[in-house]
Structure 1
Amino acid sequence: MRIPLGARGHAGTSALLVMLTAVACLLVAGLPRTMQASFDAALRQSLTTAPAARTDLTVTGDPAMPYGNLHGRERLEALDPQWRGLLPAALRPLVRPAGHMSVKTVRTPVVGTDNHINPGWLSDADRRVDWVQGRRPGQPSTMRYGDRTLPLFEVGVVDEAVGMMGLRIGQTKVIGYPVSAALRIVGVFKAKDPADRAWSHDIDILHVTRVVSEDAPDRFHTTALVSDDGLATLTGNVRDVTYRWVLPLDGRAASALDVAAIDAAVTEFQRQLEVEGTSTTNYRLATGLPQLLGDFMAALSAARTIMYLVLGGLLAVALGVIVLGVRLLTDRMDQALALARARGGSLWQVAGAGGALTVLVVGPAALAGYALSFLMPGPVLPIVHLGPAVVVVTAVGFAVARLVLAHRTPLHESRDDVVATRPSARRVTLDVLVVVVALAGAYLLRARGSAGSAEQDPFLLLIPIALTVAAALITVRCYPYPLRLLVRLTARGRAAVPFLGLTRAARARSASALPVLILLPALSVSVFAAVISDGIAATQRLASWQKVGAPIKLTSVEDIPAEAIQRVREAAGVEQVALALTGRTQIGATGERPSALAVDLAQWRQVLGDAPVDLPTLSGGTSALLSPALGDRGTFEIMWLSPMRLTTQGVIDSIPGFSTSGQFLLVPREALPWPAANTLLIKGDIAPAELARLVPSATVETQEQVLAAIQADPLTGTVRSTLLVVTVALGAYALVAIVLSLVVGAPGRVRAVSLLRTLGLSDRQARRLTVLELLPLVLVTALVGLALGLGLPAALGPGVDMSSYAGGLPVGDYTPGLLTPVVLAGGLAVCAVLGAYAHTAVGRRRNLGAVLRVGDLP
């Protein structure tokens, strides 16, 4: 048999199969690459936006005085290559060569004061600071203090310490307890680039730390810089010295595929440092990288679960549609192959010819889709190579298997449209077992929830597949029975079209199973994707409102003057303004200092309007709502502006826009002794920059900005965009499946309609007959797929934590917007009706003599 001639003879079917195969291979090979690229981008963004102190690897040495001291810059620099040599292989590509070192002291009091000045040293101070007053520190000297001689260090202090601590150039401070050294301030510096991520390691140098005490004056801590010359003297004369070697991490080189290896490498590096410790110095690793990677892996695990589910469903549906196309191709070849078989061709020659033709059609198309997938960004994963191979093997394997079964004997003639086939007891038992296992698995998943691991949970992936297969089996087995009841009802009527159409639809033919197995997962997965996407979007919006608490929130570090509030009220675009006061209170009986909010709840509700957040209710001017950490206090007294006596009205979990955990309380604004306000809750259309101009001491935060920040996360964008692509692709595949099911059953349907036309069937009745034959299966499958898609999020809810994509709030409410699911299901039904009408219109043009064989007419 000439294979190219066969392909040319069935050009239309071959072209359709080529398109289906190319698109399937493009999606199967391209979407995983795009997903992995977004996973990598999310990890890199997480590593590059986090403070450097969390991501960098900081080797910390704590010497046992005085034997463990490292005297001089050279000794410190000599250890840096040693630490880099201990790095495991997974960490070496991520660590930049340029790091820095520091030597710092802590808890060094200034004699005669409550303040602390901790002398320290930075290896790259010349690069990171500018001296704005005085000069750089020089060599140390000595000074007499009582009957002792103390080392005297020349130091520089940050400009912030000049105002907060009253320091000035020329001052000499004696430090230590007991007294160990003296400091002479010779210069004042400030950071060249305060936004440099490296400052997160040395925040104590860049800023003064203020310690607030309840029963004592505030204390200040700052770190003063010494020179290289003073380093050797520093390490031998000041207690509590710590050495640090910072190995900066380059987050741009990280890959999500290596997260587990990186996490294990950090643990191994920490173990190696502990081994390097001696009796004089202990070395340890200080980094927040494991926690950051753990949070990322939790988010990544949820994303992978959803992606595997929807992509697995897409692959299954694509394979089903391709199998339908292969079936159509083999049906068109049936007569030629049957003739070859009757003329002495062996079974394997006939099956091989059909398989070769299938390879000729789908092979180049698969290669084309595979090649186009390399235009998409992302690493080449194993599935990129495996997916197209699975498509080709499935198509060719189905073609060969079907031809082997169909042409086991020459001149096969059979009719499966007369009586319904009865499944065997073994088949029924297997179907029941699949349904029971699927339901039991769904129950266990609901009962146990997530496996609690960042690794992929196989149980979470298998249960949706089992539920889909079970629903498809139930649909295939059960949908004829209600139709047979309708057939009995229509048999009593005088109209023949309803009886004939429903009778043909109710017959359990083998050709009906494949469209169900395609349409049901296509609908269920697409509806599932739409529901998940809607749930994430709704929770993102809720999270943004919970974080801000109003359309616009203006917060000041000090009380906002009344004239500034009036300017805001009169600004163009401002509709409503609610005043609030936030601050720290002190409970008189216990001394606890919870945060407090005083606000007019009625005005706040007007500002919120129809926002998806609920505000509590306060009944009286002295009532208060307390957090669970405070509990029910009955009647108690607080100190806030002035003594206030409050009565506990209830307990609340959070205050939108203000407090979500810890100790806090909410009081009515009328309880304040005077109308102070440092926060404005605003409703209206006004630019944040304009509000910042009206109140210069305030920061402005809007709900729209927070929502945009949540949605801008790479993982969140990937999940939602992939769900959208899969929903559209599955809808398209479902439509193609309906069209192919029409075409596959066309010969028998056209022959039956043509025969009935000889008996007086009109064109209108022919269209109704075709619609009644096809529509029940599509409607039943659409309803089952819709119900399964709506139920899958609830079934998987405990096992899939989507809070990482919704601003930290759990996505538990999967109440769907029914528009998308109903449009999908209704669209398929409408397309089935239109297809039936089009199919009837095409069949009407055929000559009855070309359709009916001799003997078909009565």
Structure 2
Amino acid sequence: MRIWLLARVHLGTVAVLFVLTLSACLLVAGLPRAMQASYDEALRRSLTAAPAVQADLTVAVESGSREEDLRERAQFDSRARLWREIVPAELRPLTTAPGHMNAKTTLTPMTGTGGQTYLNLGWLSDADRRVDWVQGRAPGAPNTMRYEGETIPVFEAGIVEEAQREMDLKVGQTKIVGENDYAAVKIVGVFRAKDPGDRYWSHNSDILHVTKLQPPGGLDFEKHTTALISDAGLTALSGEGRHLTYRWILPLDTGAVGALAAPGLQAAVTEFDRVVGLQSTSTASPYHVETGLPNLLDGFLTGLFTAQTVMYLVLGGLLAVALGVIVLAVQLLADRLDHPLTLARARGGSLGQVAGAAAALTGLAVVPGAAAGYALSYLVPGPVLPIVHAGPVIVVLVAVGFAAVRLALLHRTPLHSRRDDVAAGRASAKRITLEVLVVVLALAGAYLLRARGLSASAGQDPFLLVVPVALTVAAALVTLRCYPYPLRLLVRLASRGRAAVPFLGLTRAARARSASVLPVLILLPALAVSVFAAVVGDGISGTQRLASWQQVGAPIRMTSEIEIPADALERVRGTAGVEQVVLAQTGRVQVGYAAERAEAIAVDVAQWRSLLGDAPIDLPALSDGGALVSPELRGRGTLEIGWQARLKLATRGVISSVPGFYTQGKFMVVPLSVQIRPAVNTLLIKGDASVSELARLVPSATVESQEGALRAIQDDPLTSTVRWTLVVVTGALAAYALIAVVLSLVIGSSERARAVSFLRTLGLSERQAQRLTVLEILPMILLTALVGLGLGLGLPSALGPGVDLSSYAGDLPVGDYSLDPFLPSALAAGLAAVAVLGAYAHTVISRRRSLGAVLRVGDLS
């Protein structure tokens, strides 16, 4: 059979099939690549944003005796080489960067301070490249001295500038440390980090800063710092009399991490810890791995699994709808081939030749389209996943297979004949039972998913992926079975009228056979998934806005660790764009007379409420002399707190959180007027002033804006991927829905035109023919649209706890799935408009036919 001739004759249909295949393969192959690239970027950002001490791998061991001490750098180097040799293969590409080693003591009290000041000793393998000495000199070799009748080691050490200020240490001083096993520390220099912002210092923050800790039950803070010693100091540093830990840090190359490898990395870290432990020479202090990488990966994978679940749902629906539209186009092509293939069968053509010709012609359209879409997908950045290769193959196989099977079944016998003008027969009991079973299982699955939530096992929950598909199939079956009944009621009402068009149009719609309405049911999953995507996207957007307000608590918030001067306040008030400024003071207050502490903010709540305006957050009113307290402080009646002075405040209400400040623990909100002299360190600002300008006016303050917090939430790679994918899928499905309506109109155009032509011979006018066509096709389209919209609106609630989108909304649960009515109205109006335009187009085409020719063709059938 001459395939090229058939392709030239049916060039329009072949071109439509080519374009549909190209777009479907581009979406199916390109979207997963873009999504995976964003997943990789999200993981890299997550690991980069985390402190290096959590993301990196650290091998540590405690020394408890002189036999376990490491006295030379060479001993550290040999173990460093060993750790890199035994790193699992999954981690090896990520640990290629050079690391460093350190030795530190902890909880080394300064003698005579009553346990309030701790001066630890620390050695860094690369201190010469990390610090600059701004006073004195670098430490040298240790020596000894006599103290309380004993000879003790004297370590030469350097301290950071912050320790010099906070702990009143000076160059030249010698401090005794320890409680029984004494040692002396001679301060010989003061250093400053060359790059304080380097991730390196995350592992050594105790050397770079003074740590203040409040012991349980204590009112005063302990101060801890670590002084830097030289390589030579290792010879005298022992774990026999103090807490000494050796560490080897293997930095993680966050730029080489991929989301696909994340689950394997968790197992690799566990294996590395096991292998490292086998190298231990002492059971009392074995080698072990210190890292927060598994926890970081757990948090990322939690958000990733949710993102993948949503993506699987919408992309699965997109693929199903795309395949359905392609099948419609193949059906249109098959209808065009019906007459020549019937002649071929009548002249002795075999069934294989007929099926082969249909498959070849379909392949001539879909194979180049699939290849073009597959090639264009490589323009999308991202890793190549199996679906990138499998998606176009599936599209081609479905299209070619449907064409071959459909025409093979249609032309089983030569000169086949069929009647399209009668109602379909009743379905068998088995079929009805099967359909009822599908509906019951779908409803039961939705109920169980809400009742049991997600599976506790890691990875995707198959139950979550099956339930939406089952609900869609159930809705389609119910629609197919039930739509004729309301139409028949309308037919009865129309039969009582004098006009023939409503009766004829509704009758033809009610008697449409299942095979003829199935193409239109592609609209159901298309609308359901697109509305689901729109609902989820709208819910995420609303919750993101709420989260940004809860994070900041005002349009702009300025916080400072010290009091903001009065002249700075006036400059802020005079800044362009500032409309209102609310003063506040934050601090940690003593509750009662014991060691109990609570966070507090003193503010004029009425002014704060006025500043918020129509923001999605609110605060309860607060009268003077009272306080709003957290749930942990409820039920105490009048509270007495220590803050500048002793204050007695009656509890006026319980508040679960203070937007922009406190979300858990013990906290309270008090009126600013209760302070004798408010030490304002926080400003709540309304307006569109420049954040950078405000930060310049008050250098000691940190300035945050609600808009900046919202952008930070929205710019997260996972969040932005979910949102733009939902937008793309919504647009694609809307387009596919409209194409499905057009194709369904074109597929039935010949039969519809023949029927209209017959009626035209009986006196039917052109205007009546147009109304007849609209009444025939519009009921099914509108009913399917309503069911699809209802299913899409109900899917988020039906899935319930199975889709936790808090990772994309500032860690707030997304529960308000409200939808702007514009989208369903636009979709319904668009579909109705296409249907009406299609009806007019068909009547125009039918008008061009010769009625005599139609009658003769009808006589032959």
Equivalence for 2:186: 184
Query: How big is each residue's C-alpha offset from its partner over 1:232-285, in whole Å with a ceiling of 9 and x where there is no partner?
Result: 112367521100000111011111111111000111111122222222642111
Aligned residues: 857
The CA distance in 1 between the partners of 2:219 and 2:802, in whole Å, is: 51
Say yes or no: does 1:203 pair with 2:205.
yes
- Which of 659, 669, 674 is the aligned partner of 2:672? 669
Contact 1:625 1:665 in 2 (8 A): yes
Equivalence for 1:755: 758
Say yes or no: does 1:560 pair with 2:564.
yes
TM-superposed deviation, 1:450: 1.7
Say yes or no: does 1:360 pair with 2:369.
no
TM-superposed deviation, 1:40: 0.9
Query: Does the residue aligned with 2:576 lie in a helix, a strand or coil?
Result: coil
Equivalence for 1:169: 171
TM-superposed deviation, 1:574: 1.4
TM-superposed deviation, 1:509: 1.1
Cα pair distance change 1:456/1:854, threshold 3 Å: closer
The CA distance in 2 between the partners of 1:453 and 1:803, in whole Å, is: 20
Q: How does 1:476-625 map to 2 (within 5 A)?
A: 476-588=480-592, 590-618=594-622, 620-625=623-628
Query: How big is each residue's C-alpha offset from its partner over 1:811-850, in whole Å with a ceiling of 9 and x where there is no partner?
Result: 1111112222321232112221122222222322333234
Query: Does the residue aligned with 1:13 lie in a helix, a strand or coil?
Result: helix
AA in 2 matched with 1:246: I
- Mean Cα deviation higher: 205-214 or 307-316: 205-214
Equivalence for 2:276: 273
Query: Does the residue aligned with 2:810 lie in a helix, a strand or coil?
Result: coil
The CA distance in 2 between the partners of 1:378 and 1:567, in whole Å, is: 49
Q: How does 1:130-149 map to 2 (within 5 A)?
A: 130-149=132-151
AA in 1 matched with 2:212: R
TM-superposed deviation, 1:510: 3.2
Q: How does 1:398-417 map to 2 (within 5 A)?
A: 398-417=402-421
Query: Does the residue aligned with 1:576 lie in a helix, a strand or coil?
Result: strand
TM-score (norm 2): 0.97
Cα pair distance change 1:104/1:400, threshold 3 Å: same
Query: How big is each residue's C-alpha offset from its partner over 1:522-548, in whole Å with a ceiling of 9 and x where there is no partner?
Result: 000000001111111111110000000
TM-superposed deviation, 1:569: 2.5
Say yes or no: does 1:239 pair with 2:238.
no
Say yes or no: does 1:383 pair with 2:387.
yes
Contact 2:480 2:514 in 1 (8 A): no
- Which of 628, 652, 657 is the aligned partner of 1:654? 657
The CA distance in 2 between the partners of 1:56 and 1:855, in whole Å, is: 80
Query: How big is each residue's C-alpha offset from its partner over 1:156-189, in whole Å with a ceiling of 9 and x where there is no partner?
Result: 1101111111111111111111142211111110
The CA distance in 2 between the partners of 1:631 and 1:246, in whole Å, is: 46
The CA distance in 2 between the partners of 1:857 and 1:315, in whole Å, is: 41
Contact 1:556 1:699 in 2 (8 A): yes
Q: How does 1:696-711 map to 2 (within 5 A)?
A: 696-711=699-714
Query: Does the residue aligned with 1:154 lie in a helix, a strand or coil?
Result: strand
- Which of 326, 336, 340 is the aligned partner of 1:336? 340
Equivalence for 2:643: 640
Contact 2:63 2:238 in 1 (8 A): no
Equivalence for 1:469: 473
TM-superposed deviation, 1:682: 0.8
The CA distance in 1 between the partners of 2:181 and 2:346, in whole Å, is: 111
TM-superposed deviation, 1:590: 4.4
The CA distance in 2 between the partners of 1:665 and 1:400, in whole Å, is: 74
Q: Percent identity?
A: 65
Equivalence for 1:780: 783
Say yes or no: does 1:49 pair with 2:53.
no
Cα pair distance change 1:45/1:236, threshold 3 Å: closer
Contact 2:110 2:175 in 1 (8 A): yes
The CA distance in 2 between the partners of 1:270 and 1:131, in whole Å, is: 37
Query: How big is each residue's C-alpha offset from its partner over 1:460-502, in whole Å with a ceiling of 9 and x where there is no partner?
Result: 0000000001101111111111011111111111111111111
Query: How big is each residue's C-alpha offset from its partner over 1:302-351, in whole Å with a ceiling of 9 and x where there is no partner?
Result: 00000000000000001100110111111101011111111222222222
- Mean Cα deviation higher: 543-552 or 174-183: 174-183
- Mean Cα deviation higher: 521-530 or 276-285: 276-285
Query: How big is each residue's C-alpha offset from its partner over 1:597-642, in whole Å with a ceiling of 9 and x where there is no partner?
Result: 1221210111111000121222x32222221222321123111121
Contact 1:629 1:662 in 2 (8 A): yes
TM-superposed deviation, 1:756: 1.4
Query: Does the residue aligned with 1:417 lie in a helix, a strand or coil?
Result: coil
The CA distance in 1 between the partners of 2:278 and 2:180, in whole Å, is: 34
The CA distance in 1 between the partners of 2:220 and 2:255, in whole Å, is: 46
- Which of 302, 305, 326 is the aligned partner of 1:301? 305
AA in 2 matched with 1:74: A
Cα pair distance change 1:410/1:145, threshold 3 Å: same
TM-superposed deviation, 1:84: 1.5
Query: Does the residue aligned with 2:414 lie in a helix, a strand or coil?
Result: coil
Equivalence for 2:26: 26
Equivalence for 1:419: 423
The CA distance in 2 between the partners of 1:211 and 1:802, in whole Å, is: 37
TM-superposed deviation, 1:803: 0.7
The CA distance in 2 between the partners of 1:683 and 1:471, in whole Å, is: 50
- Which of 160, 163, 173 is the aligned partner of 2:162? 160
Equivalence for 1:765: 768
TM-superposed deviation, 1:392: 1.1
AA in 2 matched with 1:268: E
The CA distance in 1 between the partners of 2:285 and 2:594, in whole Å, is: 43
Contact 1:529 1:724 in 2 (8 A): yes
AA in 1 matched with 2:141: Q
The CA distance in 2 between the partners of 1:204 and 1:166, in whole Å, is: 17
Contact 2:558 2:702 in 1 (8 A): yes
TM-superposed deviation, 1:694: 3.0
- Mean Cα deviation higher: 444-453 or 76-85: 444-453
Cα pair distance change 1:353/1:481, threshold 3 Å: same
Equivalence for 2:443: 439
- Mean Cα deviation higher: 449-458 or 378-387: 449-458
AA in 2 matched with 1:644: L
The CA distance in 2 between the partners of 1:747 and 1:415, in whole Å, is: 14
TM-superposed deviation, 1:89: 1.2
Query: Does the residue aligned with 2:67 lie in a helix, a strand or coil?
Result: coil
The CA distance in 1 between the partners of 2:653 and 2:609, in whole Å, is: 19
The CA distance in 2 between the partners of 1:19 and 1:855, in whole Å, is: 35
The CA distance in 2 between the partners of 1:813 and 1:508, in whole Å, is: 40
Query: Does the residue aligned with 1:846 lie in a helix, a strand or coil?
Result: coil
- Mean Cα deviation higher: 40-49 or 345-354: 345-354
Say yes or no: does 1:722 pair with 2:697.
no
The CA distance in 2 between the partners of 1:719 and 1:350, in whole Å, is: 46
AA in 2 matched with 1:518: I
The CA distance in 1 between the partners of 2:689 and 2:653, in whole Å, is: 36
Structure 2: runs of 5 or more not aligned: none
Equivalence for 1:250: 253
Query: Does the residue aligned with 1:62 lie in a helix, a strand or coil?
Result: strand
Equivalence for 1:320: 324
The CA distance in 2 between the partners of 1:421 and 1:581, in whole Å, is: 79
Query: Does the residue aligned with 1:67 lie in a helix, a strand or coil?
Result: helix
Say yes or no: does 1:689 pair with 2:685.
no
Contact 2:64 2:244 in 1 (8 A): no
The CA distance in 2 between the partners of 1:283 and 1:566, in whole Å, is: 59
Query: Does the residue aligned with 1:643 lie in a helix, a strand or coil?
Result: strand
The CA distance in 1 between the partners of 2:393 and 2:853, in whole Å, is: 41
